[in-house]
């Protein structure tokens, strides 16, 4: 029997999803997409889940689309747009919209859609030996899974163009220096550092953090006046949450807050 394309571990307050096709550097197949979609549904439905950690099994994070799955046989026409519409586009939007922080622990190479799915996560940690490759340029494709949207926003126009048009590997430390990712860490510290973040988020004021994610995404297309109005509305909502009351009380009582997160 073939191994499951992803594994899911439930920890206290968070879940770990591991892409699990190590012999193909965790390249995506339809089965993997469907399994991941199901795992994200379950994480979102579980109100005790307050963070998600995504990583890859073996030496790679994800090599993007499994090219065997999308190879046209003679006389056959493969319409790649359909694959994006059915699988990659909803996945990227879903990761951004999840009501808790999503952490990518990039343990090795992240190429093609694999790189851009990592970059769609809220906080990207990478092992020092990992690299990010906009591999599309090497096979006649266009950066997808949000690559053309997120790259210029993270690293600026000049670097985005260089990365997208050349498809050269960008090592983790340079990715950090360029602002593409949050941090590069020693390989053997990657999972501990990523788990530390999840443990932090597992007792954080999740409702406020979810609103923060939405506000930052909305800021990508709003003008200042619209964004100020959105901040006002979200602050009203956050300010009405039990976690805000608890945060302020704990501050004055000089103790650690006991936030309830999504269950409050």
* Positions that interact with ligand LHQ (CB under 6 A): 24-25, 27, 63-68, 70, 80, 83-84, 88, 109, 111-113, 133, 135-136, 139, 141, 144
CB 201 within 8 A of CB 50: yes
Q: Which is nearer to ligand LHQ, 70 or 213 (CB)?
A: 70
CB 15 within 8 A of CB 55: no
Minimum distance from residue 247 beta carbon to ligand LHQ (Å): 41
Q: Where are the beta strands (DSSP E) in 58-205?
A: 60-62, 102-106, 109-111, 123-127, 131-133, 170-171, 183-185
Q: Which is nearer to ligand LHQ, 109 or 197 (CB)?
A: 109
Q: Which is nearer to ligand LHQ, 43 or 119 (CB)?
A: 119
Minimum distance from residue 211 beta carbon to ligand LHQ (Å): 31
From CA 176, how far away is CA 183, in angstroms rounded? 5
List helix spans (H) across 110-146: 113-119
Minimum distance from residue 148 beta carbon to ligand LHQ (Å): 13
Q: Which is nearer to ligand LHQ, 12 or 86 (CB)?
A: 86
CB 147 within 8 A of CB 116: yes
Minimum distance from residue 22 beta carbon to ligand LHQ (Å): 9
């Amino acid at each position: 029997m073939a191994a499951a394309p992803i594994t899911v571990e439930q920890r206290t307050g968070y879940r770990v999803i591991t892409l699990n096709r190590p012999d193909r550097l965790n390249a995506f197949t339809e089965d993997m997409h469907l399994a991941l979609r199901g795992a994200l549904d379950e994480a979102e439905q579980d109100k005790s889940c307050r963070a998600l950690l995504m990583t890859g099994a073996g030496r790679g994070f994800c090599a993007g689309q499994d090219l065997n799955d999308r190879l046209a046989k003679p006389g056959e026409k493969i319409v790649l747009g359909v694959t994006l519409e059915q699988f990659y586009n909803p996945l990227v939007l879903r990761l951004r919209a999840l009501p808790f922080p999503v952490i990518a622990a990039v343990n090795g190479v992240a190429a093609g859609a694999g790189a851009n799915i990592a970059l769609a996560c809220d906080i990207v940690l990478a092992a020092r030996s990992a690299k990010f490759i906009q591999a599309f340029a090497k096979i006649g494709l266009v950066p997808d899974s949000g690559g053309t949207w997120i790259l210029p926003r993270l690293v600026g126009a000049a670097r985005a163009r260089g990365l997208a048009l050349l498809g050269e590997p960008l090592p983790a430390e340079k990715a950090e220096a360029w602002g593409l990712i949050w941090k590069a860490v020693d390989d053997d510290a990657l999972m501990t550092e990523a788990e530390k973040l999840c443990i932090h988020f597992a007792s954080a004021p999740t409702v406020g953090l979810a609103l923060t994610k939405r506000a930052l995404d909305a800021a990508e297309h709003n003008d200042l006046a619209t964004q100020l109005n959105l901040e006002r509305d979200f602050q009203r909502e956050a300010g009405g949450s039990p976690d805000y009351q608890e945060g302020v009380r704990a501050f004055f009582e000089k103790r650690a807050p006991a936030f309830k997160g999504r269950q409050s």
